[in-house]
Amino acid sequence: MDFSTYKTEEIIEHLKAINLIKPYDVMIAGVTGTGKSSTINALLNRDVAKVGLGAEPETKAVQDYALGQFIRLWDTPGLGDGTEQDKANTQDISNLLSRLYLAWNRHYKNNGDQVAVNSCETIRSILKKENYGELRWRNAAFENLEKMLDCAIIVIDGSSKDLGMAYNLLETIKAGINPTKILIAINQADIAMKGRGWNIETMAPGEELLAFLQEQALSIQRRILKTCELQVAVPTFYSAAYGYNVDKLMDFIVDNMNPKKNETDETDETQVVPPN
Ligand SMILES: Nc1nc2c(ncn2[C@@H]2O[C@H](COP(=O)(O)OP(=O)(O)OP(=O)(O)O)[C@@H](O)[C@H]2O)c(=O)[nH]1
Ligand SMILES: [Mg+2]
């Protein structure tokens, strides 16, 4: 499915309501090989982000992709393995976002522009004019992310039992982003039970796999609360390879823009972790 025109009017309405002068920035983060680039391709309905074939991490630098006019997706290298490279990648992400943030703040200050919703295209030309490549903000830490990132999708491999690295990653970013802005996205739903229960024809899980995925989502939500002390919404399970439930990721992004979201959250029981 092509999401580039998905709920555009609703998106514009939300962005105006929150006075966002830049595209809505969504970071796609996660451990290597969980399917971040595949997820971006599924959202864009195009093979633009390079997908890995082997054991080596594929995406090596932060890169942005416009999703429709007003959403910007950030593909990131795999994070969470605790190596030196991991630290460097983390630093790269936060440096890049801080540079962008400084560049458009400077632009608005210098030009006294009216606050307006800007498309990804407009922002690209502003950044070019501001020569943002030369801007430096050293020692930018994840604590500063809150100002720059509007939403984070943390991709988890649903076929893997070991989520230790995913929790490390959440530990790293949690200081910088409000938990309501984080979506835990459990990918590879098609092979969550080693390929059993997946219906190739409907490209959706059968009953048994669906029940497994629902339970897995709640269990991961509980473990994130216990391990990282983060109360996140019930994770979404999906398959980037088959395009299953990818619209749920879109819905999270759009709902998350809504300034009224937090008012409705309180009455929304799906946001509450059920007792063990
Ligand atoms: N079966 C299945 N395989 C998937 C799915 N999503 C991704 N893959 C496969 O998982 C592997 C890694 O996918 P990528 O999208 O490159 O993962 P990544 O998170 O971007 O990896 P890095 O860039 O290395 O951090 C590829 O072989 C994909 O084809 C899925 O939903 N189902
Ligand atoms: Mg990648």
Please give the pLDDT value at position 247. 97
Please give the pLDDT value at position 202. 97
CATH number at residue 251: 3.40.50.300
Residue 274 lies in a domain: no
Q: Which domain holds residue 30?
A: 8-259
Burial of 260 by CB count in 10 Å (0-12 exposed, 13-18 middle, 19+ buried)?
exposed
Residue 127 lies in a domain: yes
Residue 179 lies in a domain: yes
Please give the pLDDT value at position 272. 47
Question: Could you tell me the distance, in angstroms and rounded to a whole number, from the CA of residue 52 to the centre of ligand 2?
Answer: 7
Residue 264 lies in a domain: no
Q: Up-side HSE of residue 224: CA atoms within 13 Å toward CB? A: 27
| Ligand 1 pocket, mutate which of 32, 38, 40 (most atoms under 8 A from CB) | 38
- Separation of alpha carbons 117 and 102, rounded Å: 18
Residue 267 lies in a domain: no
Please give the pLDDT value at position 131. 59
Question: Could you tell me the distance, in angstroms and rounded to a whole number, from the CA of residue 61 to the centre of ligand 1?
Answer: 16
Question: Could you tell me the distance, in angstroms and rounded to a whole number, from the CA of residue 30 to the centre of ligand 1?
Answer: 11
Q: Whose CA is nearest to atom 27 of ligand 1?
A: 53
Please give the pLDDT value at position 177. 81
Residue 59 lies in a domain: yes
Please give the pLDDT value at position 145. 61
Q: Which residues hold their Cβ within 5 A of ligand 2, which is an ion?
A: 36-37, 58-59
Residues 6+ apart with CB under 8 A from 71: 11, 23, 24, 26, 120, 253
> Domain total for the chain?
1
Please give the pLDDT value at position 136. 39
Q: What is the mean pLDDT of each run of 10 residues along the chain (276 residues)?
A: 91 84 86 94 92 82 86 86 80 72 68 61 69 44 64 94 88 82 97 96 98 97 95 97 98 92 55 48
Burial of 186 by CB count in 10 Å (0-12 exposed, 13-18 middle, 19+ buried)?
buried
Residue 79 lies in a domain: yes
Please give the pLDDT value at position 109. 66
Q: Which pairing describes strands 236-237 and 182-187: parallel, antiparallel, or unpaired?
A: parallel
Q: Are 26 and 71 in contact (CB under 8 A)?
A: yes
